[in-house]
Structure 1
Amino acid sequence: VVLALGGGPQATTLELAIYQALKYDFNLPEALTLAWVQFTIAGTLFALLGRLGGGSWLVLEQGGSQVPVPGRWGGLWHGGVYLLCALFLLLPLLVLLPVLAHIPASLRLLPLLQALWNSLLLALACAVPATLLAWLVLWPQRLAQLQGRHRRRQLLEWLSTHALTAPAMVLSVGWYVFALPRLRLEHWGPVLVVLLNLALTLPFAVQQLRPRLLQFDAQYAPLCAGLKLAWQERLTLEWRWLGGSLRAAFALALLLAMGDVAVFALFGDKDWTTLPWLIYRYASTYRMQEAALASLLLLGVCGLLVWVLERERAHA
Structure 2
Amino acid sequence: MEQNREKPVAGRGAQSGDVSTRFGLSVRKVDGDWRDHMVALDGPPPKLRTHVTEERPRSIISFNQSPDIFFDRSINAYRGCEHGCVYCFARPTHAYHDLSPGLDFETQLFAKPNAAELLRATLAKPKYAPRPIAMGTNTDPYQPIERKYRITREVLEVCLDARHPVTITTKSDRVLDDLDLLAEMARRRLVAVAISVTSLDPKLSTRLEPRTATPAKRLDALGKLADAGVPTHCSVAPVIPAITDRFMEEIVQRAAALGVPSVGWIPLRLPHEVSPLFREWLDVHFPERAGKVMSIVRSIRSGKDNDPNFFTRLRPTGVWDDLFRARFALACRRAGVKRHRFELDCSAFRRPEIDGQLRLL
Would you call these one fold, judging by a TM-score over 0.5? no
Q: TM-score, normalised by structure 1?
A: 0.29
**Higher share of residues assigned helix:** 1
Higher relative CO (Cα under 8 Å, sequence separation at least 6) belongs to: 1
**Higher share of residues assigned strand:** 2
